[in-house]
Structure 1
Amino acid sequence: MAVVSTEQSSPEQADPERAAAEPPPDEPRVRSRKLLALLFGVAVVALAVDIVTKVAVVANLEGRPPVRLLGGLLYLDVLRNPGAAFSLATGMTWLLALLAIAVVGVIIWLAPKLRSPGWAVGLGLVLGGALGNLVDRVFRAPGPLQGHVVDFVSVFAPGGAVWPVFNIADSCIVSGGVLVVLLSLLGRDYDGTVHRRNKAAENDS
């Protein structure tokens, strides 16, 4: 008497190669969480370094002569900046504070959609830098949304004679922005999509 099997093979058993190629159902969630941790971890470190350095230079160097470092390559010269990064847009402090809040909001909204480690690092640097200067604008004199940002790094000469005086937050914003632009030029989007322009051009030709 023949025995008829009632067991149905699963898709994995029917096509083992396909099963091996497809990621486990939870893998995208785990990857997303790791990228979120990377983004906010970078932001927290950037923010912490910015706050600590500002507190240190204000407590020890404000009102004193500039400190010469690296044979004159850098100077520590504390200035209060009412403008944007590198002393731009002076006199628009409240608008810059609102712009920083908007930037923070956009990055937080975009964060769950990230699928690229490079974008996570770049946006983390921008987020940490934006928050660092925003803290100054909210909590420093002369008042909320009008606070002057503490700048203290001057290159080649004191007082920003060669290049505007900046801080760690400014450096993070610029570095993160450059990284994001570079990734975009290389065809790597925040969602992990890679645009292979060279291959597309070859196919067209």
Structure 2
Amino acid sequence: FMLKKRFSRALLSAEVDAVKVPDADVGNSPTKIREILSRKRYDVMIIRTSAGTKAIKKALSLGFKTVVIGTFLNARAVAKYLANRASSVGILCAGYKGKYFAIEDFLAAGAIVGELFSLLGHLNPEDQALASHLAFKSAKDSLIDVILMGRSARRLAEIGEEYDIQESIRMNVSEVVPVAFKNEIRDASALI
């Protein structure tokens, strides 16, 4: 929260266990974030999540040259970015609370792997990547039903925020490719 004081127009998005942190402007609800951004312009968005922030820090600490953030929303854009730049790709799923398997992360990884298959024609994936791809192919026509059975969706339903699930599984609606660095995330298009 100290970081927010350094910027005059910063949006603080912070949650713990899917609940907005006191003094944050918003939790990590994509619906609520979009509503706020439609009303006011911010120069910086500061993000703190239960799992995503830890996963990004872990990937950076492992020394990966490039760390991009992908979801269902930008699976194709992420795959295009990776296909043009990387000879080897690893996908790290944030998981539930940063500790437990999360079906939506696994399926989103599968969506990205599927987009890589479509772009490159041939891959030599590790078994986990292949399993995520096959799971996504199997579930894509009933994605919402599958994800609603998972722990993360049940948690969102408990706190009355299940509306975010439908928002979060829209396929390929964004061309933004977030690239993570030590202390910031930037859109790949701004790095060219």
| Same fold, judged at TM 0.5 (above) | no
Q: Give the number of the structure whose residues are more often helix, by fraction.
A: 1
Indicate the structure (1 or 2) with the bigger Cα radius of gyration.
1
